[in-house]
Amino acid sequence: MTSLSRAALASLPAAVTRPGHDPAAIRTGVVHFGPGAFHRAHQTAYFDRVLDGDPRWGIAAVSLRSAGTVDALKAQDGLYTLAIIDREPATRIIAAHSDAIGPGEGTRLRTLLADPTVKLATSTVTEKGYCLAADGSLDFNHPDIVHDRARPGEPASVIGWIVSGLADRRAARAAPFAMLCCDNMTGNGGKLRAACVALAREWDAGLADWIAGEVAFPDSMVDSITPASDPAFLAKMAGELGVEDQAAVQRERFTQWVLQRFDLADGPDLAGAGVTLTNDVQGYEQAKLRILNGAHSSLAYIGLALGHETVFEAVSDPALGGFAGRLMHEDIAQSLKPVEGLDVQGYADAVFDRFRNPAIRHLLSQIAWDGSQKLPYRLLDTVRDKLAAGEDVARLAVPVAAWIAFLNRKAKAGETITDPLAEVLAGAASSGDPAAAVLALRQVFPAQLAEDARFRDAVTAAVTAFLDGREAELLAR
């Protein structure tokens, strides 16, 4: 079977949406570090729309570690398939990559970063790819940073390449490129700026000051469920397309990219492509964390208690689905402060609709991992705000109690608890009074919250109901 290419576009099935621009005519205006599945399913889809009206914003895909994806893009003229998996599936060919650079091609990468027609650099390398310490600052003991401090002309890290590229711009008296971090870290732009300035200061104090004062590092938030492109998916796409596509990706229909407003002369029309530009990225992050992630954790722990396996199954349970809807709209959404440009209740509706996508198999058991790290931000912050406002927290206590009951079942069955505090949690949850013992863990519950009778009594009563098999009365709330 032949591979996807520009020459093969004409032979694709009629149902496949072709690019709205000439793939051969686009020019490179963006350098992207980390062309994994999420980037290809998310940011590139936005730029593909931009390119329909402006050919200057092609993306050079850069992989510093692995050649697999860039080799596939090179072999396919930069093209690949985006499959939308939802109640109404769709298939689209993305033609946004103008170049691809793999390991060992540092000279080409350096030339691109120095090119003034490249006005944006973006990245999706996961949080660990930025070589940050636990406090979010640059980890100078990381092997790649140790290397980059000693050999600035041959960077190993993404941070090193960004700083090196900016150093070349400054030396040439050219305008810097803007740097957009697209990994989900709170305050990601600020963290990336601080890391780049810290490394630059090791090389040249003047360069560090220039980066701090002249380079845009806007905060951002991204969201879309992107299942892995496993062999079964790639084979399915080959059958549908009639050509092989080793770079094909899939995602749900919902997609969101929230970006802090920043100055970029004659930049791409990202807003016209669907990107939300705002001065309150943190507000969007909080809405996502509390509404989407808070509801996910709630469905996970309660759903597992009811014998469900996936988010779709859990939300399709009339009692649990109704409870989750009330929790999202009446407790969580109403507790949020107004956010510029965001209809919070509408966002909650959109999230709930995503949960009901039968094509996404999102396992509750995986969402249930690391509860001690997740619940303080996903649920307990909302509880604290509701208590401060003098409002009832009985419904919010239910998923917290479901987590404690989940730990109790796991500990008593001798099953593994996937959590950094697994041993401590197992001991507390298997005690004679699991609610009191778990609430006493200050690594999770601050004293002010755990000792508030309104919350403590509601959680204790709900834990008892879960352990007695009386979930139905809790879900009626």
% of residues, the chain, pLDDT over 70: 100
The pTM of this model reads 0.93
182, 123 Cβ separation under 8 angstroms: yes
Q: How confident is the model at residue 296 (pLDDT cuts 50, 70, 90)?
A: very high
Residue 260 phi, psi (nearest 5): -65, 135
**pLDDT tens digit sequence for 234-277:** 999 999 999 999 999 999 999 999 999 999 989 999 999 999 99
Distance between CA 463 and CA 474 in Å, rounded? 10
Residue 361 phi, psi (nearest 5): -100, 90
Distance between CA 35 and CA 123 in Å, rounded? 8
Give per-residue burial for 353-368: e unless 16+ CB within 10 Å, then b: ebbebebbebebeebb
Residue 1 has pLDDT above 90, yes or no: no
Give residue 401's identity as a one-letter amino acid code.
Answer: A
Distance between the two ends of the chain, CA-based, in angstroms? 57
**pLDDT tens digit sequence for 344-383:** 999 999 999 999 999 999 999 999 999 999 999 999 999 9
Spell out the domains of the chain, with CATH numbers in brackets. 9-279 (3.40.50.720), 282-475 (1.10.1040.10)
Distance between CA 160 and CA 165 in Å, rounded? 8
Q: What is the mean pLDDT of residues 131-145?
A: 96
**Residues across the chain:** 477
Distance between CA 272 and CA 184 in Å, rounded? 23
Alpha helices in 218-260 (DSSP H): 231-241
Residue 330 phi, psi (nearest 5): -90, -20
pLDDT of residue 104: 95
**pLDDT tens digit sequence for 381-402:** 999 999 999 999 999 999 999 9
**pLDDT tens digit sequence for 38-70:** 999 999 999 999 999 999 999 999 999 999 999
Pick the closest to residue 268 from 42, 45, 50, 19 (CA basis). Answer: 50
pLDDT of residue 123: 98
Residue 257 phi, psi (nearest 5): -135, 115
pLDDT of residue 364: 97
If phi over 0 gives left and psi between -120 and 50 gives alpha, with beta otherwise, what is residue 136? left
**pLDDT tens digit sequence for 153-182:** 899 999 999 999 999 999 999 999 999 999
Residues in contact with 425: Cβ distance below 8 Å, sequence separation at least 6, in sequence order:
372, 407, 411, 417, 419, 438, 441
If phi over 0 gives left and psi between -120 and 50 gives alpha, with beta otherwise, what is residue 271? alpha
207, 168 Cβ separation under 8 angstroms: no
Q: What is the mean pLDDT of residues 191-200?
A: 98
User: DSSP characters for 1-21?
Assistant: -PBP-TTTGGGS-TTSBPPSS
pLDDT of residue 69: 97
**pLDDT tens digit sequence for 106-122:** 999 999 999 999 999 99
Distance from the Cα of residue 466 to its chain's centroid = 32
**pLDDT tens digit sequence for 397-432:** 999 999 999 999 999 999 999 999 999 999 999 999
Residue 439 has pLDDT above 90, yes or no: yes
